[in-house]
Structure 1
Amino acid sequence: MQGERRSGLTRRRFFGQTGRWGAASVIAAAAERVGRPHLIDVAAAQTPKRGGTLRFGLPNEPLTLSGTMTGGDQGLGIVMSALYDTLCVTDYTTNTAKPGLALSWTPKDARTWVVKLRQGVQFHRGYGELTAEDAVFTINTTIEKKHTGAFAWSSVQAAEVVDRHTFVIHLTQPYQPLSLTALGSVGGNVICKKAFEDLGREKFERNPVGAGPFEFKEWKEGSEIVLTRFDKYWQPGLPYLDRLEFKIVKDHFVRQNLLKTGGLDVIFTLQYKDVEDMRRTPGVAVHSVPGQTFDFIAFNPKDPVVGNRLVRQAVAHAINRNAIVSEVYYGQAVPTNIPAPKGFVGHTGKVWYPYGGDVAKARQLLAEAGHPEGVSFPVIVSDKLQLRRELEIISGQLARAGIRIEIQGLDLGTFNARFFGPDVTKKNFRSALRDIAIVSPDPDSTVYWFHHKGTLGWVGLDEPQIDKLLDEARAEASTDKRDQLYKRFFDVIVPEATYIYTVHANYVSASRTVVRNWEQLPTSIARYTAIWLDR
């Protein structure tokens, strides 16, 4: 893998290249279609136009383009749905799974699921039909070789071929979120077995072969990734576009100005403070939807200061979440006490810690904890601009309650190494602020990997009741019963406050108004199949 990569375009280079990149173009809204699966009704109200190139501003260069390496790679998350189709497709309007490459997925028993594939789906570059052998190879390789997408298959032992278009999945424990979290979302990409074996892992990661609507053409490191329409795509008549160009532009100022001047057609990570300015820009549409995300502060429960639950509860009470919504996210977020957004099974409007904060209660809890004069401790945070700003605001709020924090800013790689670590004994932080893009619209994705003992995000709170509730909810088939289990779970973990949740932030993108059918989804992926250019 490559080391640190240079930014694709700086502010200085931007002003010299804007004219060369062109000054028109691309994207209108379809806000009413947010969350619709990408199985498209071609007979739409407007007749789509075929052809054209969509230029997309990437804030981060992918580390890889392999569909099995999806963990934590924001750049790949934006590109991969053009290269790969998933076994299931998430309908974000209902938070349910729909057929994609898989036509059906049926439990044979509590630990065995049978998956039947769509026939005739072709891989790129003449690699032939996608079969059960490819799907099984993808799943087993991801798990056995510990690719970064393996977390989505955490309850899967292995997959096994039944016939050319059927395979079974063997589970280590009953797992109801299988269709949303594993078969859909980041786990459901299917790579071509023959291409992977022909090229080897390293070459495949730079020259991927999938079965999505666009196929790989070239990757100019530090500059752009180019994909072209796949003429043998299994959905007749799609996609409409001829070409996708993902321009790597890490500087948000440059990225936003390229959109304004027509050098880019879509940008995915619009700065929250610039939303209203961009709305006023002629030829630009802004798309903002409630995000399946959460911001939080995590604490080491073994720490001599924040290991005290009363201290953590004091922090939770001292935070003014409403101020974070207005001052960090400029109204593009909602305050929360839990990680499950509205619309998720288990979501509750219950408020344990007032959204406007309660400084008096925080001081009372500190006194009960034996710290009437206050406490101090460090908090690590990555280099994401809005998180740095959020922690600065929280620092001021906590100070009013006698809680002093030392902000320790780290680059994202160093932060992740210290926060996650190979296991809980290797984690190196006392407290940490970060955000999470939820993997799938199932409550299991918001809590299991963070609160269950032994998981990647577990901070060390050893409470058997927590594991029991999580395992029961993961296995329960009844939606109503799962809803009650997660509500009981939140009644346990929110007062523990090893994770203090602050907001659910919106996903905000912007586009040129000539682009049709851009879907701003409530998560960190994009869909390109139905996009067309109205010019």
Structure 2
Amino acid sequence: MSLRKKEKHKYQEPIILGIMALMLMVIFIVHLEKKRDKSVFRYGMLTEISLDIHHTRNPEIATIYRHIIEPLYIMDDAGQIIPWLTEDLPKISADGRRYHFTLRPHLSFHDGSQVSSYDVEFVFTRMFHPKYPSINYELFEAIEGSREMLRGEINYLSGFTVIDDLNFVIELDYPFALFLAYLTMPHAGIYARQAYLQEPQAWGEEVLVGSGPYRVAWADKGERIALSRFREYHGDLAVTKQLIFSFYPSIEEVFRAYKQGSIDMMQLPFSYYKKYFRDIEFSHLAFVHRVGYTNILFNQDKPPVSNLLIRQAIAHAVDRDRLNQHIYAGLARPVYHFLPEEIVINKSSHPLLPSHDLVRARELVKQAGYPNGVRIVVQYSEEIMDREVWFELADQLKRANIHLILLEQHSFLWRKELSDGSISMVIGRWIPNIPRLDALLYGVLSSKLNRKWSMNYHNDQVDRWLHEARYTENIRTREGIYRQVEEVAIAKDLALLPILSVPHIFLIQPHISYRPDAHIHLDFTGDLHSEPMDITS
């Protein structure tokens, strides 16, 4: 071998060895990454005030909550109610007001204590605390004594009677056909009374003790919470060993964490999809249409939208197709009714609301007494999506001589004014917790509840229908009542204006096989990864 070849060989050998070592290192890192990914699933979301579902309406918080804390019953995909923490369906009195429940014996909370009737009593009693009621208390206000508790007249829930550790009775003020269905909601989840009483200040931040498939392993206050499989779970053992939910102050940071591979999944706002969709591989995207629509809510106490003619003018001025193309990249679906097609039995192809007609919109503005046009002050949340929708709507409505004066507010201040009933128009998006029309209609159109959405809508006939539907057992009869509600409250009174069915977009790392379905809550108990893993280890 020549000297030159020897020199060349001398330098090639360490280079080849270095490349081989680097390849082995990459293989080893990939192996570790795969191993880690199969034991841990990481979800990213915006920071929330609490993980206690009684203090937030955030569906992502409900997702965390329902992995830890379970209700007495669950609802399957066919809408059937299945006993979960109970022996069977309750024994119901002939008048439909008295429910006798029997818990399954030997059910354990994560702290080792046994699930008892006293825990169930505490959960429902706490909902109606006069100073700190659950924000969703109306779901269970049919329970006898609930309104008296809210008013501070009594300090116990008179409609709840503990018989013994496993038996209890709930009595209602009136027959409520949907009561059992409501007991499948996360808001009716049963948690450990003693665990709450020992650390009430930490509850919902670092402490949550239920009987669900996952228990809280550790929590960095406001930053992350880790859930580990509950080995003594009464049902099927969850597949993934640990779920980590990370909280970020802005969507930008959630998106950055996803791009860096720090999280496996996130919900992607449309504004980010529009901005970055060319840079996102299609394999990372999941689109889901869920029950419930995007609506414009009108404040019946706030001029000029308190004028029906102005609301009708807005209904004619809104161009749903243009809104869909400009804001939602053509992925949404224009809607002209309020009852979701996905959960009604008798579907209707007849549009309930008017289509785009600028000429008619201008005529209505003049008829309302505004020959030179009308101005409407709209406060909106600083959230990007609300801002984009309102700017597009402002551009559309000005063509009908309706001029929106848009004022952006901090989310906290906006929510306060919203619940005070003082905002003139609101973009409202509702997804019912269960696929039942009552869960969508009652909290929105009932006069005693819709003030929190700044609607202030009151129609005595609609209130009577809503109440009647709640104790009507026949599902077709109940739907007929809700059709009447829709005709009056939506088509005639224009309490709100449904505009679009907007899909939810998720970013999911390619090694994750899980895909969300139409349910509002995500279920991470199954196999989340591309290949099956051994769950016995």
TM-score, normalising length from structure 1? 0.82
Tell me the residue number matched to 1:377. Answer: 376
**Other structure's SS at 1:462 match:** coil
Tell me the residue number matched to 1:418. Answer: 417
The gaps in structure 2 that reach 5 residues or longer are 1-28, 145-158, 532-537
**Any conservation in 2 of the 1:382–1:434 contact (CA below 8 Å)?**
no
**Any conservation in 2 of the 1:26–1:512 contact (CA below 8 Å)?**
no
* d(CA) in 1 for partners of 2:101, 2:277: 45
* d(CA) in 1 for partners of 2:278, 2:98: 50
How many residues align? The count is 481
* d(CA) in 2 for partners of 1:243, 1:488: 48
Tell me the residue number matched to 1:447. Answer: 441
Tell me the residue number matched to 2:24. Answer: none
* d(CA) in 2 for partners of 1:289, 1:522: 9
Tell me, yes or no, if structure 1 residue 195 matches structure 2 residue 192. no
Q: Once the 2 structures are TM-superposed, how far is the Cα of residue 264 of structure 1 from its aligned partner?
A: 1.4
**Any conservation in 1 of the 2:83–2:89 contact (CA below 8 Å)?**
yes
**Any conservation in 2 of the 1:23–1:262 contact (CA below 8 Å)?**
no
Tell me, yes or no, if structure 1 residue 498 matches structure 2 residue 484. no
Residues 290-341 of structure 1, C-alpha deviations (whole Å, 9 max, x = no match):
1223322222223342221111111111111222222222233322234332
Tell me, yes or no, if structure 1 residue 77 matches structure 2 residue 62. yes
Tell me the residue number matched to 1:435. Answer: 429
**Other structure's SS at 2:226 match:** strand
Equivalent residue runs for 1:15-414 within 5 Å: 52-58=39-45, 60-67=46-53, 69-91=54-76, 93-102=77-86, 103-108=88-93, 109-126=95-112, 128-144=113-129, 145-157=132-144, 158-180=159-181, 182-203=182-203, 205-236=205-236, 238-271=237-270, 274=273, 281=280, 284-345=283-344, 348-355=348-355, 357-414=356-413
The gaps in structure 1 that reach 5 residues or longer are 1-21, 28-48, 422-426
Q: Once the 2 structures are TM-superposed, how far is the Cα of residue 23 of structure 1 from its aligned partner?
A: 8.3
Q: Once the 2 structures are TM-superposed, how far is the Cα of residue 219 of structure 1 from its aligned partner?
A: 1.9
Gap change, CA 1:277 and 1:107, over 3 Å in 2 = farther
**Other structure's SS at 2:366 match:** helix
Residues 467-494 of structure 1, C-alpha deviations (whole Å, 9 max, x = no match):
1111111111011101111111111011
**Any conservation in 2 of the 1:121–1:234 contact (CA below 8 Å)?**
yes
Residues 221-244 of structure 1, C-alpha deviations (whole Å, 9 max, x = no match):
3431111111111114x1111111
Tell me the residue number matched to 2:154. Answer: none
Aligned-residue sequence identity (percent) comes to 20
Residues 463-518 of structure 1, C-alpha deviations (whole Å, 9 max, x = no match):
21111111111111011101111111111011211212222222222212322444
**Which structure's residues are more often helix, by fraction?**
2
Gap change, CA 1:149 and 1:370, over 3 Å in 2 = closer
**Any conservation in 1 of the 2:177–2:471 contact (CA below 8 Å)?**
yes
* d(CA) in 2 for partners of 1:507, 1:390: 16
What amino acid maps onto 2:169 in structure 1? V
* d(CA) in 2 for partners of 1:26, 1:323: 45
Gap change, CA 1:117 and 1:506, over 3 Å in 2 = farther
Residues 265-310 of structure 1, C-alpha deviations (whole Å, 9 max, x = no match):
1113454652796698569442222122332222222334222111
**Any conservation in 1 of the 2:514–2:529 contact (CA below 8 Å)?**
no
**Which one has the largest radius of gyration?**
2
**Other structure's SS at 1:528 match:** coil
**Which structure's residues are more often strand, by fraction?**
1
TM-score, normalising length from structure 2? 0.81
Of stretches 155-164 and 402-411 in structure 1, the one that deviates more from structure 2 is: 155-164
**Other structure's SS at 2:508 match:** strand
* d(CA) in 1 for partners of 2:119, 2:433: 23
**Any conservation in 1 of the 2:299–2:424 contact (CA below 8 Å)?**
yes
Residues 128-182 of structure 1, C-alpha deviations (whole Å, 9 max, x = no match):
22122212221121123513342322322343323433332222233222233x3
* d(CA) in 2 for partners of 1:521, 1:23: 33
Of residues 459, 462, 467, the one that matches 2:455 is 459
**Any conservation in 2 of the 1:518–1:528 contact (CA below 8 Å)?**
no
- Give RMSD over aligned pairs: 3.0
What amino acid maps onto 1:302 in structure 2? D
Residues 363-392 of structure 1, C-alpha deviations (whole Å, 9 max, x = no match):
222222222322111122212222211111
Gap change, CA 1:278 and 1:136, over 3 Å in 2 = farther
What amino acid maps onto 2:66 in structure 1? S
Gap change, CA 1:300 and 1:458, over 3 Å in 2 = closer
Of stretches 211-220 and 341-350 in structure 1, the one that deviates more from structure 2 is: 341-350
Greater RCO, CA 8 A, separation 6+? 1
Q: Once the 2 structures are TM-superposed, how far is the Cα of residue 50 of structure 1 from its aligned partner?
A: 11
Of stretches 300-309 and 223-232 in structure 1, the one that deviates more from structure 2 is: 300-309
